């Protein structure tokens, strides 16, 4: 079999790239190791930057997002028993974010892919990229007891942090940068109305908490836990008691609790691999970088990588120009590192670190205090949160 672009991974990055390529008449095949059901079962991000939402519109899959997504003009930071609002719209000249779960984004992209008739192979085992430093790369995989090979022009590694694409690059051709955090996020989903109309990020001596949502009837909550915490030790009751201890009293008293329909712990890390191109193999999304979810950047960075990579492929195939492909890695990394900085800053400002000590807590408090005394400081936060220009 032959195609122009093989995409490894059917998460948001792979599906969005595939949809844009197909719409532009550029032939592509997606190879995914899991089943569709498993991909859709993963509960992840919840906040879309406007640039990401516009890409979903451009891909022709934005209708349900525009109908069901919740536009948010701001969010609260809670500390010292009080909530302080960050007026995104006022601070950024009218920009906002859209609250719409990654599961729904993935659903919409899968429906679009199916309608387009483009080929996706699920439960493709042992996917392997080959000869991507030569002019004739290929990808092999196992399915139904047979080995399949696809010859192609390019390979897009959209296979996430644990994928095969980055692992296929020789160690001497790649440099990685990493910071792991001494805590994780215990998250739950419950079919109860959210405690507020906007998100609340809380800095508390007991640890960080986040009140988010998926709709006006479905809430998404998180509390910071030890990095090695066991989710089995957290009954629903223990979770609800703990998150209410970390919120201002009025907010805690207003919280509706109920049975969790999903409960899991996500580790937090900052990670970047450089470069993001290796001959005819291009990395996009979590395959190349990870951010702690505090800044709501992970899914949005995957989208901006796809923006740059799709534009480069379109220029190559439709205008016979390869400068976009040559510039992809540097252009994507420039935005990645700014999002890494913001996500690290939000995480460092809002979480309790075991070794932070009294001085560290004073610095954290001064940081938060300064934010709400300086329009310049709050504007920095707001313009990063809504998404820096593409
Ligand atoms: P993904 O990991 O989503 O998709 C990669 C795909 O490749 C998967 O379907 C995988 O099965 C497939 N794959 C892997 N190896 C393969 C192989 N060898 N062959 C074929 N296919 C292979 N971001 C936020 O903004 N907010 C959040 O709250 C948030 N929470 C998160 C919680 C968790 C537990 C995790 C892991 C991430 C979270 N993120 C969050 C970040 C997340 O949303 C990612 O940024 C987003 O999924 C990135 O999308 P992709 O790059 O497509 O990678
Ligand atoms: C979520 O709703 O899952 C969410 C929202 C904002 C974040 C992280 C996660 O920063």
Q: Which tens digit of pLDDT belongs to each residue from 35-88?
A: 999 999 988 989 999 999 999 999 999 999 999 999 999 999 999 999 999 999
365 CA distance to ligand 1 centroid (A)?
33
User: Whose CA is closest to atom 15 on ligand 1?
Assistant: 163
Q: Ligand 2: which of 42, 45, 208 to mutate, judged by most atoms within 8 Å of the beta carbon?
A: 45
- Closest-lying ligand 2 atom to the alpha carbon of residue 43: 3
Does a structural domain hold residue 354?
A: no
Helix axes 102-116, 12-23, angle to 10 degrees: 30
- Closest-lying ligand 2 atom to the alpha carbon of residue 220: 2
Q: How many domains does the chain have?
A: 1
Does a structural domain hold residue 383?
A: no
212 CA distance to ligand 2 centroid (A)?
6
220 CA distance to ligand 2 centroid (A)?
8
| Ligand 2 touching residue 294 (CB < 6 A) | yes
145 CA distance to ligand 2 centroid (A)?
40
Residue 356: its pLDDT value, please? 93
| Ligand 2 touching residue 31 (CB < 6 A) | no
Active site residues: 72, 201, 293, 297, 385
- For residue 189, give the ligand nearest its CA: 2
322 CA distance to ligand 2 centroid (A)?
37
- Closest-lying ligand 1 atom to the alpha carbon of residue 163: 15
Structure tokens, 168: 């296929």
User: Whose CA is closest to atom 1 on ligand 2?
Assistant: 46
Cβ neighbours around 12 below 10 Å, total: 27
Half-sphere exposure of residue 288, counting CA atoms within 13 Å on the CB side? Answer: 32
- Closest-lying ligand 1 atom to the alpha carbon of residue 15: 52
- For residue 309, give the ligand nearest its CA: 1
Phi, psi of 331 (to 5 degrees): -70, -45
Q: Ligand 2: which of 212, 220, 301 to mutate, judged by most atoms within 8 Å of the beta carbon?
A: 212
Range of the domain at 16: 5-53+101-177+269-347
Kindly compute the dihedral angle of the four CA atoms of residues 211, 390, 180, 294, in this order, to the nearest 10 degrees.
-10
- For residue 142, give the ligand nearest its CA: 1
Structure tokens, 45: 């991000």
Does a structural domain hold residue 107?
A: yes
Residue 316: its pLDDT value, please? 98
- Which residues' Cβ are closer than 6 Å to ligand 1? 8-14, 31-34, 39, 44-46, 102, 124, 127, 158-160, 162-164, 266, 285-286, 293, 296-299, 302
**CATH code for the domain of 274:** 3.50.50.60
Does a structural domain hold residue 113?
A: yes
11 CA distance to ligand 1 centroid (A)?
6
The string of pLDDT tens digits covering residues 321-375 is: 999 999 999 999 999 999 999 999 999 999 999 999 999 999 999 999 999 999 9
Does a structural domain hold residue 309?
A: yes
Q: Ligand 1: which of 13, 16, 45 to mutate, judged by most atoms within 8 Å of the beta carbon?
A: 45
Residue 43: its pLDDT value, please? 87
Alpha-helical runs (H) found in the chain? 12-23, 36-41, 50-58, 63-68, 88-91, 102-116, 236-245, 249-254, 298-319, 323-350, 357-371, 375-385
- Segments of the chain scoring below 70 in pLDDT: none
Kindly compute the dihedral angle of the four CA atoms of residues 348, 240, 99, 350, in this order, to the nearest 10 degrees.
-10
């Amino acid at each position: 079999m032959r195609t122009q672009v093989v995409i490894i991974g059917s998460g948001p990055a792979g599906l969005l790239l595939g949809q844009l390529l197909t719409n532009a008449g550029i032939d592509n095949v997606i190879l995914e190791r899991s089943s569709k059901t498993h991909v859709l079962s993963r509960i992840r991000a919840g906040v879309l930057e406007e640039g990401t939402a516009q890409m979903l519109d451009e891909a022709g899959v934005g209708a349900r997002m525009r109908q069901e997504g919740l536009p948010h003009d701001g969010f609260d930071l809670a500390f010292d028993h009080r909530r302080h609002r960050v007026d995104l719209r006022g601070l950024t000249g009218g920009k906002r974010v859209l609250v719409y779960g990654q599961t729904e984004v993935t659903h919409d992209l899968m429906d679009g892919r199916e309608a387009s008739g483009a080929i996706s192979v699920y439960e493709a085992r042992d996917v392997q990229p080959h000869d991507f430093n030569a002019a004739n790369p290929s990808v092999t995989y196992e399915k139904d007891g047979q080995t399949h090979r696809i010859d192609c022009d390019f390979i897009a590694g959209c296979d996430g942090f644990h994928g095969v694409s980055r692992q296929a690059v020789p160690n001497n051709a790649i440099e990685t940068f990493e910071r792991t955090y001494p805590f994780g996020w215990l998250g739950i989903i419950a079919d109860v109305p959210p405690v507020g109309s906007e998100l609340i990020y809380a800095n508390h001596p007991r640890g960080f908490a986040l009140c988010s949502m998926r709709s006006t009837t479905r809430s998404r909550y998180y509390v910071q836990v030890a990095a090695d915490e066991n989710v089995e030790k957290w009954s629903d009751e223990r979770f609800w008691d703990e998150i209410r201890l970390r919120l201002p009293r009025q907010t805690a008293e207003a919280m509706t609790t109920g049975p969790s329909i999903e409960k899991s712990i996500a580790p937090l890390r900052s990670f970047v691999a450089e470069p993001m191109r290796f001959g005819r193999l291009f990395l996009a999304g979590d395959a190349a970088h990870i951010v702690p979810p505090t800044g709501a950047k992970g899914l949005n960075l995957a989208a901006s990588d796809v923006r740059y990579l799709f534009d480069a492929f379109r220029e190559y195939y439709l205008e016979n120009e390869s400068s976009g492909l040559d510039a992809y890695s540097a252009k994507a990394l420039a935005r990645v590192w700014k999002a890494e900085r913001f996500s690290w800053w939000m995480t460092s400002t809002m979480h309790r670190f075991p070794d932070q000590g009294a001085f560290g807590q004073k610095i954290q408090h001064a940081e938060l205090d300064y934010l709400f005394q300086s329009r310049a400081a709050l504007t920095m936060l707001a313009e990063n949160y809504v998404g820096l220009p593409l």
